[in-house]
Amino acid sequence: MSETGPPIPELAESVAYVRELGKPTVADVLRDARAAGRLALQPRCGVGSHAQMTTLLQDLERHARPDILTLTIDSYTRLKQFDTARRVLERNPADLNGYPLVTHGWERGRQLNEAVAAPLEIRHGTPDARLLFEVTVASGITSFEGGGISYNLPYCKDIPLAESLAAWRDVDARCGELARHGLVVDRETFGTLTAVLVPPSISLAISVLEAVAAAREGVRCISVAYPQGGHFEQDVAALRAIPELAARYLPAGLEVHAVLHEFMGVFPKQRPHAEDLILYGALVARLGGASKLISKTYQEAHGIPDTRANIDGLLLASRANSPLLDFITLDEDRIGTELEWILREVAEIVEPILSTADLHKAIPIAFEEGRLDIPFSASRSARSAIIPRRAGDGAIRYFATGALPFSARTRRHHEQSLAAGGESRLGDMVKGLTSDINYFLGIFGENTNGSTNNCTNSSTGGSAVGDIVAEHSTAETPVAPS
């Protein structure tokens, strides 16, 4: 017996189970969606109770027909606190902020798989996901989110990058082994990172490094997920950058899909405003050529959404697939300019690291030296010396680039874009960052004074910007999983 109950089956048995299940894999769904020119839709969802998780998945499928369904994993499981997860599950499953798959075990994982027609993905936030991945595979689940950088730095304070990279190397190697057995597991990067004003080139650079590392271990399908920043042309350009980056840095024959996370920051409180933002994000995904959209709900500002809100969010986002929207035209010159800068910045960040002999050694060194960095990180492994700001048009730029290896031309581009800001004092910076984070509240004219608005599914809420600027957050376990 293992911590998951009955012994985990051999890989060959799990591969045979997936074939016998008769449903498409996530890789199949993404491939078909891209070929059809439509956007695959996926909600977030995860509760502690097995019975309630089953009902939740079935209700979402019955009423909204998402292409892919999610098991969001609880925080205890993410930190390998399996005994605690079991105690909480036995006491009151509602106290868990996700589904404890390791505790429930792979047999129950298969029950969930068999309860719905759509394939499942595991979303979690785990620095060391090896046991969770083994249970995932035994459950017949064919997509697994995360990576050694993106599932460490936004979530954990003291876990060394070398440890999380080594653990995720094992996960990717296992995916390679599964591919040799004939089962392609989609591996999705978590480009959302801290979810607060993440510059596109930082998100994509981290995803490129994780994707290269995964491909070297034999992963055959990679979804590169990007967080909607809020500026239409910049977001469309970032999504369009993904296939170009794949062509530059990843081996031929690897399936690569662009994925958009709908806005992960402070959401409007009023339902009409929230729904405007949901549809806006879905249009960004479609026009950016994404294969998949991770949806949001009108309840984001108030807490974890209920089933009805999740269904309504999916149905609203699905309108982006309407053929009646083919009349929409874009400012292709502006998108092309943004794309050119994004590709330049990513190259300046990743190419010195990719040129080293050992990627897994080079990445921690680059973070230690500040040549890799992410904003507002909970981890001591990141300097968080880069400070993002919004330009006057809403695009996310670099106010401070820290030790990122940007050229003088790149730095000058961001300085010129932000020239109208002019804050020099800490108080001005805090006020400006708060305004940038509350961007959509300002657009909709919602009052931000004394707001209790939160970022339900993000890693860092962004409500205590003064604390972030003065001394970066050290929260070890985010309230809600990705």
Enumerate the active-site residues. Answer: 78, 145
Specify which residues 144 forms β-bridges with.
Answer: 122, 187
Query: Do residues 296 and 262 lie in contact, with contact meaning Cβ atoms separated by under 8 Å?
Result: yes
Cα-to-chain-centroid distance, residue 136: 18
Bridge partners of 143, per DSSP, are 186
Pairing of strands 186-188, 221-227: parallel
> Cα–chain-centroid distance for residue 218?
22
Q: What are phi and psi of 377, to 5 degrees?
A: -80, 145
Helices 332-354/408-417 angle, 10° precision: 140
Residue the block writes with tokens 């961001």: 414
Helix (H, G, I), strand (E, B) or coil at 120: strand
CA atoms of 470 and 2, how far apart (whole Å): 45
Residues 127 and 159: beta-carbon distance below 8 Å: yes
DSSP 147: -
User: Which single residue is written with the structure tokens 């009108």?
Assistant: 298
**Chain center to CA of 456:** 14
Beta-bridge mates of residue 226: 260
Q: Which of 237, 468, 260 is nearest to 374 (CA)?
A: 468
Pull the structure tokens for residue 327.
Answer: 């009349």
d(CA 189, CA 293) in angstroms, rounded, equals 14
- Listed in sequence order, the residues at least 6 apart from 363 whose beta carbon sits closer than 8 Å to its beta carbon are 148, 149, 161, 165, 209, 353, 372
Q: Report yes or no: 398 and 386 within 8 Å, Cβ to Cβ.
A: yes
Angle 161-361-79 from CA coordinates, rounded to 5°: 20
Within 8 A by CB and 6+ apart from 138, the residues are 4, 8, 9, 14, 106, 109, 110
Please give the distance of CA 437 from its chain centroid, rounded to a whole number.
18
Give me the DSSP letters along 437-458.
Answer: HTHHHHHHT---TT-----TTS
